[in-house]
Structure 1
Amino acid sequence: MNPLVRWFHQLGSPPYFDRFAARWAKWGYALGLLLMLPGLYGALFQVPPDYQQGDSFRILYIHVPSAWMSMAVFAAMAFYAAIALVWRIKLCEILAMACAPVGAGFTLITLLTGSIWGRPMWGTWWDWDPRLTTELILLFLYLGVIGIYNAIDDRRIAARAASFLALVGVVLLPIIHYSVVWWNSLHQGQTIRLFGKSSMDASMLAPLMWMTLGTHVWFVGALLARARADNLRREAGKAWVANAAGATS
């Protein structure tokens, strides 16, 4: 068997995944925070004030990476959910459900920072703008997945039911992305492009890329930590869990 294929088969074993997640989750957290440091420093101390928005624009270094992550995490959740539903892989159920609280957190940060940013720019904390409204719906979808998963006692049935909602909700992602193009919107148009030329000055772009990279790596740590906790809850009572608890006590 190919070594990579063998590793994926091993990763599906609850004891093996527990050891893997325990080892790498802390590295994801630490490396993610480390990568964010140059982004935060550049955003606060190196980037000049915006010629229109002044210093208030600096909140974008939290807002934009969180907004990107809110959609990326939902896409990852839907990906794991599809695998879980088709091939009934328990680890993918766990990973899909572990995405939901983290994604909901990023979405909430997006909405809060967007409101704080919008207050001086638009003169209001909230407007039923297409981008804001669809992002709010995304938060409700995350909460729906979390709610369904916690409402059913059987973990596997709960994960499958919540996975259906994740798959249905994925159609919202392109609507969020293109909302500023399809409708007249208070929200500014797309100024930052991962592919192609961005209208943002290069001196302002570098800290944003550090923040984006850092949040992605931090998410890996958070995903592994939450998935490990759910895996242990599901496997409670098994001998290997008792042995693992004894080894760490």
Structure 2
Amino acid sequence: MAQRLQGRTALVTGSTSNIGRAIAVALAKEGAHVVVSGRDDARGAAVVGQICEDGGRADFVRADLDGTAAASRALAEQAQDLLHGRVDILVNNVGIYPPATTPTTDEETFDRVYGVNVKAPFFLTQALVPAMISAGGGVVINLGSWIARLAVPVGALYSSTKGAMETLTRAWAAEFGPQGVRVNAVSPGVVVSPDWDTATDHPGEVMMRGTPAGRSGHPDAIAAAAVYLASDDAAFVHGTVIDVDGGRTGVAVVAV
């Protein structure tokens, strides 16, 4: 069976663990040469090692995407150098979630969360999309969140950043789509990291009670959606946010 992303290149931010790691591995399995990025050298090397052991191609770039344009441009330049001048697929996955309420959020935290979750992907997209256009096309995939549309009591700051990314998805689709660059997003629901201790209950499981899935999701489910959006199977898909959340946002929850 032919690999859907054979001959293409990809950069996945925040891809040394959890959802980002799953996306990087999945893109590589479909034939893409992937640049893994994050702040942890050891974790980055482990992801690259996994991909290479499976017969894929990957490189690691250490990046601290703090929201400055300089940090995003530096990552873009390093990724382009490793990928022979072009990035066909950009996955804006990096994000941080401070478990703070509005009264307990200080200005430093506010700026840091918006810097990582919104400014960093904004300037990274700004740095990479022009080359995609010149090359004849490309794909940008953003990561949203189910709590951008179904509010929870803790996480106003984080959910607002994900709402911003979902809005940018539609705006960029309008801006770049006519020039050959497709922009879409995946909105994960409650996802449990494979590193979670299975001997203890994950707090997100409570939120999934009464949903069609009835349980939390695995990072591979998000990765599968990202592969679809990156591939030609989604050639007619623009400005869409795909909910991969076990039905949490789209279906009435039945009390159990």
TM-score normalised according to structure 1 size: 0.30
Q: Which has the higher contact order (CA 8 A, sep 6+)?
A: 1
Structure with the higher strand share, 1 or 2: 2
Name the one with the larger helix percent: 1
Q: Which has the greater radius of gyration?
A: 1
